[in-house]
Structure 1
Amino acid sequence: MRFEGTSAYVADKDLMVAVNAAIALERPLLVKGEPGTGKTELARQVASALGLELIEWNVKSTTRAQQGLYEYDAVSRLRDSQLGDDRFNDIRNYIRRGKLWEAFASDKKVVLLIDEIDKADIEFPNDLLQELDRMEFFVYETGETIRAVQRPIVIITSNNEKELPDAFLRRCFFHYIRFPDIDTLTRIVEVHYPGIRKRLVEAALSQFFEIREVPGLKKKPSTSEALDWIRLLVTDDVAPEDLRGEAKNALPRLHGALLKNEQDVHLFERLAFMARRNA
Structure 2
Amino acid sequence: MQFQGTDQYVATDDLKLAVNAAIQLQRPLLIKGEPGTGKTMLAEQVAEGLGMRLLQWHIKSTTKAHQGLYEYDAVSRLRDSQLGNDKVHDIKNYIKKGKLWEAFESGEQVVLLIDEVDKADIEFPNDLLQELDKMEFYVYETQETIKATIRPIVIITSNNEKELPDAFLRRCFFHYIDFPDKPTMEQIVEVHFPGIKKTLLKEAMEVFFDVRKVPGLKKKPSTSELIDWLKLLLADDIPEDILRNRDTKSAIPPLYGALVKNEQDVHLLERLAFMHRRES
Same fold (TM over 0.5): yes
**Structure 2 spans left out of the alignment, 5+ residues:** none
1:52-131 paired onto structure 2 within 5 Å: 52-131=52-131
Q: Structure 1 CA distance, aligned partners of 2:84 and 2:231?
A: 59
Q: Structure 2 CA distance, aligned partners of 1:237 and 1:98?
A: 47
SS at match of 1:67: helix
Correspondence for 1:236: 236
1:210-249 paired onto structure 2 within 5 Å: 210-246=210-246
Correspondence for 1:253: 254
Identity of aligned residues (%): 70
- Cα RMSD for the two superposed structures: 1.0
What displacement does 1:273 show?
1.9
Give aligned pairs, total.
Answer: 279
1:35-50 paired onto structure 2 within 5 Å: 35-50=35-50
Q: Structure 2 CA distance, aligned partners of 1:276 and 1:50?
A: 54
What displacement does 1:276 show?
2.2
Q: Structure 2 CA distance, aligned partners of 1:189 and 1:228?
A: 11
Equivalent position amino acid for 1:56 in 2: Q
What displacement does 1:247 show?
5.1
Equivalent position amino acid for 1:269 in 2: E
What displacement does 1:274 show?
2.1
Equivalent position amino acid for 1:99 in 2: K
SS at match of 2:203: helix
| 1:172-210 deviation digits (Å, cap 9, x = unpaired) | 000000000011000000000101111100110111000
1:15-54 paired onto structure 2 within 5 Å: 15-54=15-54
Equivalent position amino acid for 2:123 in 1: E
Correspondence for 1:183: 183
What displacement does 1:271 show?
1.5
Runs of 4 or more above 3 Å deviation: none
What displacement does 1:275 show?
2.1
Q: Structure 2 CA distance, aligned partners of 1:90 and 1:239?
A: 67
Correspondence for 2:134: 134
TM-score with structure 1 setting the length:
0.98
Q: Structure 2 CA distance, aligned partners of 1:135 and 1:86?
A: 34
SS at match of 1:266: helix
Equivalent position amino acid for 2:55 in 1: I
Q: Structure 1 CA distance, aligned partners of 2:236 and 2:79?
A: 59
**Structure 1 spans left out of the alignment, 5+ residues:** none
TM-score with structure 2 setting the length:
0.98
